[in-house]
Amino acid sequence: MAAKKSEIEKITDFLKKNWAYIILLGIFLFGLHLRSYHLDYPVIGYHNWKETHYLTEARNFAREGFFEHGFFIPYRDFWTINSDDLGVHGDTFPTVSILVGLGFKLFGNKLIVARLIGFFLNSLIIILIYLILKKLTNNEFVSLTGAFLTAINPLFTFFSHNVQLMNVGIFFSMLSLYLFLVWIDHGKGKFLILATICLTISVLTKYPFMIVVGSLMFLFPYKRLKLKNLKKNYKSYLISIIILLLIPLWMIYSGKVATEYGLSSSAVDVGAIQFDKIFTKQFWNTSKAYTADNFTLNGFTFIVLGVVLLLTMGIRKSNKLSKFLLGYFISFLVFFFVMGLKLSGHSYHYFPVAPLGIMLITYSFIVIINTASGIIKSFLKIKHLDKIVKIVVLIILLSTIYAPSIKARNRQFDTQFLGLDVAGEYLLTRTAPGERIMHSSHQAYGVLWHGDVKGTRGIPGKVEDIIYAEEELNIQWIFMYNWDFNLLQGEVGQHIKENYHLAQVGLQQNNQQTIPIYFIFKKGGNFSEEQLNTFINSHPVQTKEYEYTFGKVPFLFASE
C-alpha cells in the first residue's frame, strides 16, 4: 500500500503540474493592473474624439433604440456643417456601440460600464496569445514569454481603457486564430465554424482585421480539400462561407445608407487607400513616433531582428510557428501599403498587426536565448545550467523592453486635454433642449459626451457657415480650445465678439502665469479680450485636480 503524501508533497506536485498556469495567472493579473489605470477617468485623454464617437453612438442606441435609422445604423452626436446626416454615417458594424448601448440600458450611462467591456476583452488577449503560441510551439517558455510581452505592450495597455472598435476586433481576431488552430489539430467542423464566426465579427467590427487570413492560408491543411475528405467536411465549409458573406452584405447595406444621407461610406473607403503615402518623409516621422508608443524603439529593433531570423532561419525549419509568422508578415506587407494613409493618422491603426510584432519579439528572444544556452552548454556540462542561463537571458531581454513600455504607456496616459469634462458639465446644466454647440474639433470632442449635447465638427473658418449653423442648426454655444484661439483675430472672431459673450473660461498655471486654455461663448451680448481679466476677477475661480502618472495637476476655471 502506497504511503500517504504529506501536505508539502501535495503542494509540490501541484506546483510541478500547474507551474505554467500559475505564472500565466500572475502575468494576467499584472496585465489587468496595468490596464486598470484611469478606467473611470473623464473623456479628456489621448483620442478622446474617438471615444466620444462610440460613446455617443451607444448612448443614442440606449435612448432611441437600435433601429432608429435602419438596422443597427450608428448615429453619433456630431456632424459636419451643411450636412443633413445628423450624425448618421455608413460605417463598419457597430459592435462596440451595440455592446456598450446594451450596458447603458442595463446599468445607466456610466463610463465605467462602457470601458469595462474593452478592458476585459483586451486583457483576455494575454491568455489568447499564450494559447496560440502553445498551439504553434507546444513550448511553455515561448508561450509565457509572448503572454508577458502582451501584458506590458503599451498599445494594448493604453487603448484597453478607450471605448473603441479595436478591443473587440482584436479579441475576436485572436479567438478566431486559436479556434482555427484547434480545428487543424482535431478536424472537427464545429471549430472551423466557430473560428469563422469570430473572424466575421472581427472583420465586421474593423475591416483591417482581415489580415489574419494570411496566417490561416499558410497553416490551412489543404489535404482536407481533396475530394475524399471534402465529402466528409463540406457542410462546415459551406456554413463557413455563408457566414463570411455577412461581411460584403454589411458593406453593401452600410454603403447604401450612407448614400441615402449624401455621405461617402467608410465601409468602402477607397479614398483612404493611398499607396504613395508611405514614400513621404512625414509618414516615416509619424511612424517612428507611433512605433515608440506602440512597441517602443527597443521592441522595434527586436521585431526587425525577428523578421531577419524568420526569413533566414525560420523558412528552412518550416514548422508551425515559422509558417504562421511568414503568412502574417506577408499579409502585413499588403496591409502596410493599403493602410498607409490610416497608419500615418492614428497609432491605434496598428492594432491588427500588434500580435505579429509581439510574436516577432518573442521569436527573436527565443533564438537569442537558445543560442546563448547552447554556447554555455557546449563549454560547461553542469546540470540545469542551460535552464538557468535561459531564465537569466530572458530577464535581461525583458528588461530592455519593460521600462520603455511603461514609459510609453505613461506618456499616452499623460496626454490630457484638461477641462473638457468641466466645460461639458457646465453645458449640461445650461443648455436648453434642442440647443447645439460648435466646438474646436481635434481633441475637444469629450465636451460633447460630458455635456450630453450635440454639436458640429469644428468651428468653421467662414462667417457665413457660422450664421448658417446658428439659423439652421440652433447653435447657441461655442466651445473654443486653445488651438483655435487664432480664430478670434479674423472675421470669424469679429462675428463671435459682436454676437456672443463669455460664459466660462478654463485656465492653467504656466510658471508664474495663468493662461486660458478654453472659452465657452453663449449667443447674445459681446466679448473682447480686454474683458477677460474683469471676467476672471468678478467670478469665483474654482479648482479641479487632474491625475497624471507623475502626480496631480491643478486646473482653474471661472463661470458666469
The predicted pLDDT at position 271 comes to 42
- Longest CA–CA span in the chain (Å) reads 98
pLDDT digits (tens, 9 = 90+) for 443-489: 999 999 999 999 988 999 999 999 999 998 899 999 999 999 999 99
CA 177/CA 198 separation, integer angstroms: 9
Whole-number Cα distances in Å, 363 to 19, 266, 299, 359: 22, 36, 12, 6
Nearest to 44 by CA among 116, 100, 111: 111
Model pLDDT, residue 230: 82
Average pLDDT, the chain: 91
379/466: higher pLDDT: 466
How far apart CA 194 and CA 180 sit, in angstroms, is 8
Task: Specify the amino acid at residue 344.
Answer: S
Measured between its terminal Cα atoms, the distance across the chain in Å is 87
Helices assigned H by DSSP within 187-319: 189-205, 213-219, 227-244, 246-260, 281-294, 297-309, 315-317
Closest CA to 417 of 52, 161, 48: 48
Task: State the Cα–Cα distance between residues 399 and 415, nearest whole angstrom.
Answer: 25
At which residue does the C-alpha cell 509558417 appear? 323
CB 83: neighbour CB atoms within 10 A? 15
pLDDT score of 80: 79
Structure confidence at residue 260 (pLDDT): 75
User: Is 510 in a helix, a strand, or coil?
Assistant: strand
Pairing of strands 513-523, 541-548: unpaired
Spatial distance between the Cα atoms of 296 and 378, rounded to a whole number of angstroms: 34
Average pLDDT over residues 172-200: 96
Q: What is the grid cell recorded at 201?
A: 465579427
In the chain, domain spans: 110-413, 420-559
Above 70 in pLDDT, residue 270? no
For the entire predicted model, the pTM comes to 0.92
Average pLDDT, integer, range 226-232: 80
Each residue's pLDDT tens digit, 192-219? 999 999 999 999 999 999 999 988 999 9
pLDDT confidence band for 273 (50 / 70 / 90): low
Task: Please give the angle made by the CA atoms of 338, 344 and 346, to the nearest 5 degrees.
Answer: 110
Burial label for 105, CB within 10 Å (0-12, 13-18, 19+), is: middle
**Better-scored residue on pLDDT, 381 or 266:** 381
Rounded CA-CA distance 506/556 in Å is 6
- Rounded average pLDDT over 64-83: 85
Q: How far apart are CA 357 and CA 307, in angstroms?
A: 10
88: which DSSP letter?
B
User: What separation in angstroms does the CA of 63 have from each of 71, 76, 103, 191, 436?
Assistant: 16, 12, 12, 37, 18
Q: Which of 126-135, 324-333, 368-377, 543-552 has the lowest mean pLDDT?
A: 368-377
Q: Are 506 and 552 in contact (CB under 8 A)?
A: no
> What does the DSSP 8-state code read for residue 2?
P
153 or 8, higher pLDDT: 153
- Reply yes or no on whether the pLDDT at 128 is more than 50: yes
